[in-house]
Amino acid sequence: MLSATGLTLTLALLGGAPKAAPRTELVDAATVIPDLVLDLRYATKDNFLKKQVYPDGARCLLLPDSVKRLTQAADALRPQGYRLKVYDCYRPRAVQYEMWKILPKPGYVADPRKGSNHNRGGAVDLTLVTKDGAEVEMPTAFDDFTPAAHHGYTGGTPASREHREVLRKAMEGAGFQRNKMEWWHYDLPGATKLPVLDVPFTPAG
């Protein structure tokens, strides 16, 4: 079903001389999850870097396994009256270098030499919205690097903690792993072993 999206990109591994250029397929998640809400913050200036580092028209690209799990989470949330809104999906490694130049601070930005799971198509930043797309209260805003963004945070309103748990249950139920410091960030299990990718947001031609 995923290959029916027709989105096949040739990917190049950065670093070293690859013996054979691996081909990996990233999928535009919005073509598979029709009610997915896109709010790709790095394609705007509304992010902690205060700079637009993604091109206009950037899409939510993810590995097929990530999209499959995201679809499961969206399916589980729909009957509860929620939809998923994504803040960040695949991030080209070139952008990781750009971010690192702006803010070379581990904990805020992953060192591009190591790469982030976002560079592998194996991480997604997201929140809940209502069926109508209205904001749902969470403990913090996206990319708020404070203890209030931790999963163990017991402050804030009960509603915000409840929403964080609804998202967590749906995402873990679909086989993602939470990040204990960032309520919005979920990883594909084993993603750190996957290749770092550098493909453009829009297909050539």
Which residue, 11 or 124, is less far from Zn ion as judged by CB?
124
Q: Which of 15, 38, 190 minimizes the C-alpha distance to 111? A: 15
Which residue, 42 or 82, is less far from Zn ion as judged by CB?
42
Query: Does the active-site annotation cover 25?
Result: no
Taking the CB of residue 54, how many other CB atoms lie within 10 A of it? 19
- Candidate segments 16-24, 63-71, 120-128, 154-162, binder of Zn ion by CB under 5 A: 120-128
Containing H/E element for 177? strand 177-179
- Candidate segments 6-14, 21-29, 39-47, 178-186, binder of Zn ion by CB under 5 A: 178-186
Residues 181-200 binding Zn ion (CB under 5 A) are 185
Distance of alpha carbon 123 from alpha carbon 202, whole angstroms: 19
Beta bridge partners of 83: 129
Q: Does residue 143 interact with Zn ion by CB under 5 A?
A: no
Q: Does residue 65 interact with Zn ion by CB under 5 A?
A: no
Residue type for position 4: A
Flag whether 125 is marked binding.
yes
Flag whether 65 is marked binding.
no
Flag whether 163 is marked binding.
no
Decide: 38 and 30 in contact? Cβ < 8 Å: yes
Catalytic residue among 25, 98, 137, 182: 182
Backbone Cα Rg of the chain: 16
- Candidate segments 12-20, 37-45, 91-99, 125-133, binder of Zn ion by CB under 5 A: 125-133
Q: Does residue 161 interact with Zn ion by CB under 5 A?
A: no
- Among the listed residues 125, 143, 187, 198, the single contact to Zn ion using CB under 5 A: 125
DSSP states of 102-142: H---TTTS--TTT--GGGGT-EEEEEEEETT--B---SS-T
Query: Which positions touch Zn ion (CB under 5 A)?
Result: 125, 185
Show which residues are catalytic: 182
